[in-house]
Structure 1
Amino acid sequence: MDMPTTTLKVKTSHGTIAVETRGAGFPVVFIHGNSACRAVFQKQMLSPLLDSYHLISFDLPGHGDSEDAKDRARTYSRPGLADLVIELLGELGIDHAAIVGASLGGHIAIEMLSRSNISRGQFLMGTPAVGSNFSEGFVSKPLNGLASRGELTSEEVREFAELVYGSDFEPFMQRAIERADREFRGNLFSAARSGAGVNQRAVLELTTVPTAIVNGENDAIINLDYVDSVRYANLWRGKCFRIPNATHSPFWEVPHIVNHLLSEFLKELTGRRSN
């Protein structure tokens, strides 16, 4: 069934946010990563496998078609972004949802667990649940240091895009990186270094919220062995998935596999009901 998508602008205390929605039923919220935009989830938003759900994607503050944050120090941190998502969903009248997070989006999803009861399940990709030692979750400095740098050259933008999306990245992804608020990346990592946010490893070792872990087996950014070492309290199907022929963004590189897994996760989460 061909269902149209709806776009709207939603005012929040963090700034005006660009939102895209499709369908009806149980809400599924997609949160993109650092210096990305909602369009990276187009292969999920348009998937027939997800037709029976209310799909919601949006641009984080300082990204895509959303405004830069009104107060960067308040918003550009994991806790600040989690507060933004909670407020945004409140404005949309959504009090429960499955949260699909990619990279930073997954960190935001975990942060939300200690701040609201909206999440009924989370589907995390490219997201190591960082504990007291942030670096353990990554192979080296995230994106060779580009993830925290304000100004990027055109060559660095291309490197950023290829590391995140693989060799088949598209021009809109580079434009999203270039558009991102120059203060976003530095503020985000500065806040993390200062201890902002929860111990995410501890959260996932305690939460009863069903958690799916899906990563590309060739991800050169995150430490997959670290991801597997977390003692998840409620790990979907009892294992962390490593998807062949994919790097940091399996939802983009191998959407047929990810969409199938997400569909199965949502069926189990909702008791095979869509509302």
Structure 2
Amino acid sequence: MAVSHRTIRTPQADLRLSQSSGPGVPLVLIHGSGSSRAVFARQFDSPLAAAHRLIAFDLPGHGESSDARDPATDYTIAGLAQSAAQLLDGLGIDRAVVFGWSLGGHVAIELASLHPAVGGLMLTGAPPVSKGPFGMLRGFHAHWDMLLASKKTYSERDAERFETLCFGDTADPSFRKTILRTDGRLRAAVTRGMLTGKGADQRQVVEQAAFPVAIVNGENDPFVRLGYFETLACGSLWEQCHIISGAGHSPFWERADLFNPLLARFAEAVVAQRVDGTPLASRQAGTG
């Protein structure tokens, strides 16, 4: 399957992206903090790339994308979502399934609140929390390692620890360099924005979504409270909250053999909803 690469200039940053030539509904993959589109190699090297137009891009300040032009604004969740929206428009995408991991999940939720192209949303390692510090405390574990999420400058030891938290002992050798390349101003800006409640109320966006929402987490995620997801009143939840065994924060990387079929099946559900026009929750309840 052919994979092409290009750069799209947006008001926020120059975004480097990769995409496959599959004919199915586009699947937009948004990576987490300190990562890059390379983390989705196991999705591109799978039947997903042949069946769908896989699109993965480096967020501003990450990978091969440029740093943000206006860090104070563009490194907020809302600013990152605006850059993703600009990318969708630049690629001419009017409907897509969006998968967001960790920071990318929060960006994906914000994107869904402002762009009509989001036809389905899958989240991993990204609890949709209410605005402010109390919302974050409900969705995330409070421990010293969380300080890395907001630390501006990483030492080699910081990068090693963050890599372990994200990937366990499965990281590709290139991931450490990617963590160190990341613009540290983003970490501080994102954390500050979430604590002060800027942007959409992410819990509300997910609970009131008119499109299918899938939630897939690793059973050993060190960052998020898995029980929090059970408190969501999400009428468009696809199936149930899936837990992938033998995985931590990045099940799409650690257990791609289990994750990829879930993403493929979810994409089929999104397409089916568009064809028959019946809300997912109604079909699952047998009323559609």
Decide whether aligned partners of structure 1 residues 50 and 24 sit closer, same or farther in structure 2, where only a CA change above 3 A counts: closer
Q: What is the CA–CA distance in structure 2 between the aligned matches of 1:86 and 1:127, rounded to whole Å? A: 19
For the residues of structure 1 that align with 2:73 and 2:187, how far apart are their CA atoms?
A: 14
Render the CA deviation track for 1:124-160: whole Å, top value 9, x for unaligned: 1111011132221101158431011011111111110
- Match in the other structure for 2:222: 220
Task: Check whether the contact 1:50–1:263 (CA below 8 A) recurs between aligned residues.
Answer: no
Q: Deviations over 1:164-216 (max 9, x none)?
A: 11111122111111000121111111122222111111111111110110000
Output the TM-score relative to the length of structure 2: 0.91
- Quickly say closer, same or farther: Cα 1:90–1:232, change in 2 above 3 A: same
Rounded Cα–Cα distance in structure 1 between residues aligned with 2:109 and 2:273: 24
Match of 2:267 in 1: 266
Partner of 1:171, secondary structure, is coil
2:33 corresponding residue in structure 1: 34
Q: Which amino acid aligns with 2:265?
A: E
Give unmatched runs, 5+ long, in structure 2.
275-288
2:140–2:224: 8 Å Cα contact kept in structure 1?
yes
Q: Secondary structure at the match of 2:243?
A: strand
Q: Does structure 2 conserve the Cα–Cα contact (< 8 Å) formed by 1:266 and 1:272?
A: no
CA RMSD, aligned part only? 1.6
Aligned to 1:183, the other structure's residue is in SS state: helix
Aligned partner of residue 166 in structure 2, secondary structure: helix
Which amino acid is the alignment partner of residue 202 of structure 2? Q
Aligned-partner Cα distance in 2 for 1:150–1:141: 18
Quote how far apart the aligned CAs of 1:69 are. 0.2
Residue in 1 that maps onto 2:54: 55
Of 263-272 and 20-29, more deviation after overlay is shown by 263-272
Aligned counterparts of 1:85 and 1:141: Cα–Cα separation in 2: 31
Secondary structure at the counterpart of residue 134 of structure 1: helix
Q: CA deviation at 1:54?
A: 0.6
**Aligned partner of 1:241: which letter?**
H
Quick check: 1:11 aligned with 2:13? Answer: no
Report what 1:140 is aligned to: 142
Instruction: Compute the TM-score of the two structures, normalised by the length of structure 1.
Output: 0.95
Secondary structure in 2 matching 1:242 = strand
**1:61-72 matches, cutoff 5 A:** 61-72=60-71
Residue pairs, 1:198-209, within 5 angstroms: 198-209=200-211
Q: Which residue number in structure 2 is paired with residue 244 of structure 1? A: 245
Is the Cα contact below 8 Å between 2:13 and 2:83 reproduced in 1?
no
- Native 8 Å contact 2:252 2:260 kept in 1: yes
Partner of 1:87: 86
- In the alignment, which residue of structure 2 is the partner of 1:255? 256
| Partner Cα separation in structure 2 for residue 272 and residue 144 of structure 1 | 38
Superposition deviation, residue 272 in structure 1: 9.9
The answer to whether the 8 A contact 2:129-2:202 is kept is yes
Partner residue, 2:189 = 187
Whole-Å separation in 1 of the counterparts to 2:230 and 2:168: 22
Distance 2:273 2:230 in 1: 28
Equivalent in the alignment of 1:154: 156
Say whether the 8 Å CA contact 2:120–2:270 is kept in structure 1.
Answer: yes
1:47-73 residue CA offsets vs partner (Å, 9 max, x unmatched)? 114411111000000000000000011
Q: Distance in 1 between matches of 2:5 and 2:48?
A: 21
Contact 2:22 2:49 in 1 (8 A): no
Q: 1:141 to 1:61 in 2, by over 3 A?
A: farther
The CA distance in 2 between the partners of 1:110 and 1:265, in whole Å, is: 17
Query: 1:50 and 1:210 mapped to 2: Cα distance?
Result: 21
- List per-residue Cα deviations over 1:33-89 (Å, max 9, x = no partner): 011100000101121144111110000000000000000112101111111100111
Deviations 1:95-119 (A, max 9, x none): 2100011011111111112211111
Q: Secondary structure in 2 aligned to 1:114? A: helix
Q: Distance in 2 between matches of 1:131 and 1:141?
A: 20
2:279 aligns to what? none
